[in-house]
Structure 1
């Protein structure tokens, strides 16, 4: 049974991640023995560790993390012209292309979630995203024509990609099919940074990249990490919910900030890869908890496409821990799957 909590008059909600130290004194943030921040993958990262083994040096750890982030970006970025993904996208070769084991792993995860979500998750949707003005090109707040959408749809569809597990190759059935890993790469990078920390014997940490998270152990106060879900408010920042969680990954997707309006109609940045049009359902945002950030990242995108009804059904079928925030005439309501309630100690 789904849990429904009505939120009358709640402002449009898109989940953002804030990391709370567990104490009102913000100076505690500075006491983390490791607190590394910076830019990556077109966004930013924050990595905190509550304690470091004596053998771990901060400068060396920062270099290890930065090296790993750069490696992933070099493989999976569509903005780097000589990245592995850019090479695949520019190739018109219909035959099998050998790819790195790392990229093969990410593409395999993408294929799995695409299949389980009945195509709601699709890493080939990039041409449609760009067409609607939500890609790297500057937005002109102009809806494309039906003809333009149909033309773009010809090169969209995850089934136009074929992975060969035994020899680790990728084939494209259409030469112009392109891959965009923006809904997986950040989550994957989170997981990989967590492995770097694990390899150094660090047991209490938080890794965040562009809002995607992995949490392990305890915070500076020896408690579960406190993650705030923000109530979006154009005037001021307010908290809607605080989760005390650990040893888990978390990712969000929503429609609060990235949209445009034309002639009184609102166009979301979330594009349905089947229709080619922005979604029109009432789901405002979705938060997914999982064992890996990559999986949470991809499912958050898929469920945002599916919407509150079909998304909830699939989330229950796949035993996912998900919080849906849905627009209603009265305001907003939260719908949590049983596993989300269990893992966050929400009352049923």
Structure 2
């Protein structure tokens, strides 16, 4: 059975058949497990794994993801991250190694993107109605935006790690950290580690818009993922990639939005302006060694816009695929590193 499930610009289609050939019948069926986490969906495809393991694996996967959600969620008031956000002091707060790692990676990518990827942008996300707060009934005014921006900034957050543990520290008591831009990649990498612990070496795992693969699919072919065209058509494919054991993530401005005062409001917020992006870049896909890395970079590139994203991709030697609105259609661009992953039938 062929499946087509859309996750934030990635079309996980025909993953179990060689070459995504819709006319060919698969020689073998993978074990496919699915569920919900972090307000989105997770999916695991396994090659060469007995169906008798399905119930146990489903339970262990859900337990792992539930544990991640208890750390990272801004929707759960008792999560580790929510407790840090609620804390109104400046003393270091003890966190897990996982939390320290995801924040460290986010701060590094944030600096590389000159603050375009900013995990402290939570007050602005909430102001524009994409966080736990309700959607605004009118466009926020400049005073509201300025007030929210005053509570943001990567320079106010740091990670402390030594031989006795790890801590997060903020020098702005009201600083609000939102890890939703990297949470899916983080959880996807966790699923990959769980598969390895279970002795499974041929798998595709995904949480929301982040995907990571290892080994081969049920037909002993590379796992393939399609980048979806920025349209509402179910199976409109822009490009197909052989992941070759890498992670991939797409950030797009064309799905998560609402209409307010006659304008389309994107969920992608520019930390520098405090407003949703309005440029022509509609999709940024990144392939990296981990899903977390890919998930962090795609958000920053989306904020930067086409030309700055191209420049940074070349400077940092990133595997990047960009889709830009051009008149009534779209244009695409890929970095040299990305072209190595393109599948050509």
Same fold by TM-score, threshold 0.5 exceeded? Answer: yes
Residue 265 (structure 1) shift: 3.6
- Contact 1:128-1:149 at 8 Å conserved across structures: yes
- What is the alpha-carbon distance in structure 2 between the residues aligned to residue 238 and residue 246 of structure 1? 23
Name 2:11's counterpart in structure 1: 17
Distance 1:341 1:138, change over 3 A: same
Aligned to 2:54: 58
Q: Report how far residue 61 of structure 1 moved.
A: 2.2
8 A Cα contact 2:241 2:341, kept in partner: no
Moved more, 132-141 or 322-331: 132-141
Deviation by residue 1:151-174 (Cα, 9 ceiling, x = unmatched): 001101111112212251211111
**2:237 is paired with a residue of what secondary structure?**
strand
CA distance in 2 between counterparts of 1:118 and 1:90 reads: 27
The one of 3, 13, 37 aligned to 1:40: 37
Pick from 110, 124, 146 the counterpart of residue 114 of structure 1: 110
Asked if residue 155 in structure 1 is aligned to residue 151 in structure 2, the reply is: yes
User: 2:69 matched to which residue of 1?
Assistant: 73
Moved more, 57-66 or 260-269: 260-269
How far apart are 1:53 and its partner, in Å? Answer: 7.3
Shift of 1:282: 1.0
Higher relative contact order (CA 8 A, sep 6+): 1
Q: 2:214 aligns with which of 196, 213, 216?
A: 216
Provide the C-alpha distance between the structure 2 equivalents of 1:244 and 1:150, rounded to a whole number of angstroms: 44
Find the aligned partners of 1:335 and 1:232 in 2 and give their Cα distance: 14
SS at match of 1:179: coil
- 1:88, CA displacement in angstroms? 0.2
Please state how far the C-alpha of 1:97 moved relative to its aligned partner: 1.2
Q: Deviations over 1:147-194 (max 9, x none)?
A: 000000110111111221225121111111011110111101110110
- Unaligned 5+ runs, structure 2: 1-7
> Partners in 1 of 2:150 and 2:321 — Cα distance?
34
* Alignment partner, residue 331 of structure 1: 329
Aligned CA RMSD, in angstroms, stands at 2.3
1:176 counterpart residue number: 174
Report the CA distance between 1:31 and its aligned residue: 2.4
Q: Please give the secondary structure, in 2, of the residue aligned with 1:294.
A: helix
Residue in 2 that maps onto 1:287: 285
Alpha-carbon distance, 1:216 to partner? 1.1
Tell me, in whole angstroms, the C-alpha distance in 2 between the residues paired with 1:119 and 1:173: 18
SS at the partner of 2:287? Answer: strand
Unpaired stretches in structure 1, ≥5 consecutive residues: 1-13
Moved over 6 A (4+): none
User: 2 CA distance for matches of 1:31 and 1:162?
Assistant: 46
Q: Which residue of 2 aligns with 1:165?
A: 161
Q: Deviations over 1:99-126 (max 9, x none)?
A: 1111111111111111111111111111
Distance between the aligned counterparts of 1:73 and 1:263, measured in 2?
34
**Over residues 244-270 of structure 1, what are the superposed CA-to-partner deviations in whole Å (9 max), with x where a residue is unaligned?**
332010000011122234454433221
Shift of 1:134: 2.1
